[in-house]
Amino acid sequence: MDEARKTQLEFVEREAGNFGKLFAWVLCIVLPALIYYYAPKYGVSHEVSIFMAIMSVTLVMWIAELLPDFVPGLFAILLFLMFGLAPKDVIMSGFSSDGFFLALSVLALGTVIQSSGLSYRYALIIMKRVPDNTFWYMLSLFFTGLFLTPLVPVIAGRASIVAPVLNEVVKHCDEKVKQSASTVLFASGINGITFLSAAFLSSTPLNLIIYGMLPLQEQQAFNFIKWTYASSVVALCMLVLYFIISVVYFKTFSRLGIGKDYINEQLKCLGKVKKSEWIAMFGVIILGIGIFTSSLHKISIPWIAFALLYFLLFIGTLNKEDFRNKIDWPFLFLLGSMIGLVSTMYYLDIDDILAKHLNWLAGYMSNNLKVFILLLSGTILLVRLIVPMNATVLIFAATLLPLAAASGVSPWLIGFIILLMSESSIFNYQAPYLYSFRNITKGTVMQDDSRIMGFNIILIVVKLSAIYISIPFWTNIGVL
Amino acid sequence: MRKLTYFFSLLFVTLVTFIIIYFNITKPRIMIIHSYHPEYAWTRDINIGLIRVLERHPNYSIKWHYMDTQRHSGKEWFRKAGIMAREAVDQWEPHVLILLDDSASELVGKYYVNHPKINIVFAGLNGDYKPYGYHTANNVTGILEQKQLQALKETIQMVEIVKTFKAHTTDSASNAVNLSDISNIKMEDKHNVPRIFYLSDPSESLKIFRIFMDTFDWKPFNYIGSYEANDYEDWKKAVLENADKTDYIIVANYRKLPKTSKKEDENKFASAKEVMEWTEKNSKMPVIGINVFNVEDGAMLSVGVSPYEQGEVSAQMAVDIIEGIKQPKDIPIKLNEQFIIALRKSIMQGRGIELPAIYEAFARATANYYE
């Protein structure tokens, strides 16, 4: 492609983007006005009309990505306060909730784990011990990502740990097998950090948002252990199916001819385990012990995590600068806003209104869950073709979690399915959070993107199958 | 010096950690399990009673759990709600479990009878507590909820007395009224004795209550019987068909009234507000409730068990157990004593019904007065 044509294409793309944004801003003005004018004519109360008008603007901003995610959330909260739609403590409840402090603490611990170098050291040690075969490298890359999933609560953070390891593996491969091994190793690396994100409460900020949006009782029930336990059958099925399909689909397993010298060099560079790594390890162990012994000490898990944050600040492992710069404050503001938004919905009885107007959907949810799962998953996959992952999760969760609560279906289950399906992506553009992974491996790992795309489509079927297989288990443990 | 500073800072953290853990382990824990959902007026008002007592003990750790068996029903929901509630109890191991209404005892309470660490205080039990094994338990006490039928009868008597009094003042300009007039209302003429009819939904708890209604001594009134409506349409039919056969319709609850008679709709209930508003609008005769929330739903008048008393008494029993003042087996099971009046002035005026001012004052004082 010549330079002129490339420039021309970029210009067209930019113009199309600009037009889309212009259209979205026009919608931000027209839509709330129309809703505010017409909603009362359909028997909607004054307060609910205002709520709907505000939400319409927020949704447009999210879908069209007019502003960073947390800004529309704060916009909604601000207007709720200005219009007095609910008492201040209801609207601002997200900022004092257990979910907020849990998210803050988990993010802080994740920052320490990542910045201390502990996670990178772990990845190198694993690679050092792996037998020299594509299959074993595939397994270890996948499990390295999986091991980091509950510990590093941001996908991009996990990508920044696993991608360099993948680079090194591919770089030191025998030239003859490099091309063929690249695709399977790339798929393992990228799926290791994302595939089972929904199975652990602390693996992505979105999980913490869903947790924060659950009714209080459900939050108490689905803490770290129960969340993982309830999703364990899905996770196990997905894991087994993943490896079976990987073997069948890629069929390129052979000796890689990797020497271990480069790993030894890297480990030598890292030197002895640093104090900050010990503290990170200590933090993980203490949090683990705290979670598993919660029935003995009776301290709520969010407060254990918060105490750990205090400890990290106290001993200076997380200093003032890190606390200010490395914690994802925009996400925390988004979380606080989302919880406040849902609380306001409950306060205005919008859950009942939703249940009444989406009666058919509530009917499927409570009477024919299997069909509902298919409908929900299909809709999410379609929506995800044009709407970013965060906006998709926020919109579906804000609508369906209150509806689930009103219909007698576990809001956790609906939230879990939303998370699991929203995380699926077929095309690269659907997963911008994996750009860093692709950028780091670009030029070194020569994966076949069309094969990866085909594999992604199969993984969607795997996820759906795992959900259906898990239904008897959920019935048995009282989730269903 | 640096090492010493480091040592003391670590000592400080360790001490704080141990103090926090010790404090949390020994902190009194109460778990309140409601059979229904928090927005339900009965539940909401019980909570007011509970808080009145428990807020005096800020050192207690309190957890609330709602089983939501009013809005959702069916075997499956009960099974699921039971598992979740018992899991929450096992996880938290409260010192006292306060169980409100029958479902909580059925799905949770009976599993903890004679538990070595968990004590049970029940409230809001309509019928017998033996089915839950409480009669043989040494870790259970509580307060029963018996509908205030005597108070209801006296209120209807008062309505009749005022009516008679007004008729006397119009006819003879006499201001005197004999409070025993009601017992003499032309008892010899059966047609003029006010007639009472009880209408209910098909829920299990109301089936038990119906027996109380049918066997209660309604004299001097003429209790013409009761009817259990199968669904909302059946309810409407019963209200319209009994229009000329009764003078008062008594209702307790209608939250388990299926919308239609279709099999697939058996768990889809008509809105309580809609039912009560329709009943009040279409009934020729005054509708009187025996739950405080009936008036909130749209009824004219109700004489109900005090939810505040249920909350206060059960919370006080829990406090006595935690403070070691009494063992559950030493606290006798109580019967409710208080009742609450709720009234809706506009409907009373519309029907030309009056009551002494004290009724209105009482309803206002308990925030159960509606214009």
| More confident call, A296 vs A308 | A308
- The pLDDT value given to residue A429: 74
CA proximity to A139, closest of A255, A246, A218, A264: A246
Supply the pTM of this predicted model. 0.77
Question: 3-state class of B356 per DSSP?
Answer: coil
The answer to whether residues A68 and A82 touch, using CB atoms and an 8 Å cutoff, is no
Q: In whole angstroms, give the CA distance from residue A7 to residue A11.
A: 6
Question: What pLDDT is attached to residue B236?
Answer: 92
Q: Which of A275-284, B31-40, B162-171, B291-300 has the lowest mean pLDDT?
A: B162-171
Tell me which residue of A462, A386, A407 sits closest to A62, measured CA to CA: A386
Closest B-chain CA to A406? B71
Q: Contact B91/A480, CB-based, under 8 Å?
A: no
**Alpha-carbon Rg of chain A, whole angstroms?**
23
Structure confidence by residue, pLDDT tens digits, A211-263 = 988 888 888 888 888 999 999 999 999 999 999 999 899 887 777 777 777 77
Of all residues in chain A, what percent carry a pLDDT higher than 70? 97
Residue count (chain A): 480
The verdict on a CB contact (< 8 Å) between A295 and B61 is no
* Band of pLDDT at residue B169, cut at 50, 70 and 90: low
- Residue A133, SS3 per DSSP: strand
What is the token pair recorded at B160?
A: 């009749």
Average pLDDT over residues A64-78: 89
The pLDDT of residue B170: 55
Q: From residue B313, how far is each of B50, B55, B126 by CA, in Å?
A: 8, 14, 16
| B297, burial (CB in 10 Å: exposed 0-12, middle 13-18, buried 19+) | buried
Strands B339-344 and B301-305, by their bridges, are antiparallel
Which of A83-92, A360-369, B93-102 shows the lowest per-residue confidence on average (mean pLDDT)?
A: A360-369
Tell me what pLDDT residue A63 has. 82
Q: Cβ atoms within 10 A of the Cβ of B366, count?
A: 15
| A68 vs A58: CA distance, rounded Å | 11
The pLDDT of B317-338, averaged and rounded, is 92
Residue B178 to chain A, least CA–CA distance (Å) = 50
Higher pLDDT, B296 or B71: B296
pLDDT digits (tens, 9 = 90+) for A412-422: 999 999 999 99
Q: What is the mean pLDDT of residues A303-324?
A: 88
The structural domains of chain B, ordered by start, are 2-146+310-335 (3.40.50.2300), 149-289 (3.40.50)
Which chain B residues are closer than 8 Å to A222 by Cβ?
A: none
Q: Let me know: does B185 contact B164? Beta carbons within 8 Å.
A: yes
Tell me: pLDDT of A137 over 70: yes
- Give backbone dihedrals phi and psi of A351, rounded to 5 degrees, phi first: -60, -40
Q: What ipTM does this complex have?
A: 0.70
**Could you report the per-residue pLDDT of B7-66, keeping only the tens digit for each?**
887 888 888 888 888 888 888 999 999 999 888 888 999 999 999 999 999 889 999 999
Q: Is the pLDDT of residue A29 over 90?
A: yes
**Which is higher by pLDDT, A367 or B112?**
B112
Cβ separation of B65 and A408 shorter than 8 Å? Answer: no
Range with top average pLDDT, A441-450, B22-31, B112-121: B112-121
Query: Do the beta carbons of residue B343 and residue B307 sit within 8 Å?
Result: no
> What pLDDT does A2 receive?
61
pLDDT top residue among A166 and B112: B112
Give the model's pLDDT for residue B99.
97
Q: Which two tokens stand for residue A181?
A: 């091994």
CB of B197 closer than 8 Å to CB of B224: yes
CA B360 to chain CA mean position, Å: 21
CB contact under 8 A, A478 and B80: yes
From the CA of A304, how many Å to the nearest CA of chain B?
10
Q: What does the pLDDT read at residue B190?
A: 47
Q: Where are the alpha helices (DSSP H) in A39-97?
A: 46-63, 70-83, 88-91
CA torsion sign, B67 to B68 to B69 to B73? negative
What CA–CA distance (Å, rounded) separates A320 from B215? 74
Q: Taking all residues of chain B, what is their mean pLDDT, rounded to a whole number?
A: 86
Sheet containing B140-144, strands listed edge to edge, beginning at the edge strand earlier in sequence: B61-66, B29-34, B96-100, B119-125, B140-144, B334-335
Q: In what order do the strands lie in the sheet with B222-228?
A: B222-228, B195-200, B248-251, B287-289, B301-305, B339-344, B369-370
How far is residue B252's CA from residue B42's CA, in Å, rounded to a whole number? 12
pLDDT band at B176 (very low <50, low <70, confident <90, very high): very low
Q: Where are the beta strands (DSSP E) in chain B?
A: 29-34, 61-66, 96-100, 119-125, 140-144, 195-200, 222-228, 248-251, 287-289, 301-305, 334-335, 339-344, 369-370
Domain extents in chain A: 1-85, 118-273+349-477
Mean pLDDT on B260-273: 77
What's the whole-number mean pLDDT along residues A75-99? 91
Section B255-262 average pLDDT:
82
Q: Out of A217, A408, A479, whose CB is closest to B77? A: A408
- On the question of a cis peptide bond just before residue B220, with omega within 30 degrees of 0, the verdict is yes
Look at residues B99, B50, B45, B124 and name the one whose alpha carbon lies nearest to residue B295. Answer: B45
Contact at 8 Å (CB) between B60 and B321? Answer: no
Task: Select the residue from B6, B8, B21 to test the A interface by mutation, using most A Cβ atoms within 10 A.
Answer: B21
- As a whole number, mean pLDDT of residues B236-256 equals 89
- Hey, which residues does B305 pair with through a beta bridge? B339
* Interface residue of B19, B80, B103, B118 to substitute, partner A, most A CBs within 10 Å: B80
* Cβ–Cβ contact A453 with B under 8 A: no
Residue A480 C-alpha, separation from nearest chain B C-alpha, in angstroms: 7
Is residue B207 over pLDDT 60?
yes
Predicted pLDDT at B187: 45
% of chain A with per-residue pLDDT over 90: 28
SS3 state at B100: strand
Is the pLDDT score of B182 beyond 60?
no
Euclidean distance between CA atoms A208 and A103, whole angstroms: 6
Q: Quick check: A7 pLDDT over 90? A: no
Q: Could you give phi then psi for residue B222, rounded to 5 degrees?
A: -105, 100
* Chain B neighbors of A478, CB-CB under 8 A: 79-80, 82-84, 87
Interface test with A, best of B84, B107, B264, B267 (most A CBs within 10 A): B84
* Closest by Cα among B108, B43, B117 to B322: B117
Query: In this predicted structure, which of A20-34, A123-137, B41-55 has the lowest mean pLDDT?
Result: A123-137
B364/A contact by beta carbon, under 8 A:
no
Kindly list the residues from chain A whose CB atom is less than 8 angstroms away from the CB atom of residue B35: none
Residue B269 forms beta bridges with which residues?
B258
Most A-contacting residue of B18, B36, B69, B71 (CB-CB within 10 A), to test interface: B71
pLDDT of residue B320: 95
SS3 call for B305? strand
Which backbone phi and psi does B53 adopt, to 5 degrees? -85, -45
Residue in B32, B41, B51, B28 with CA at minimum distance from that of residue B312: B51
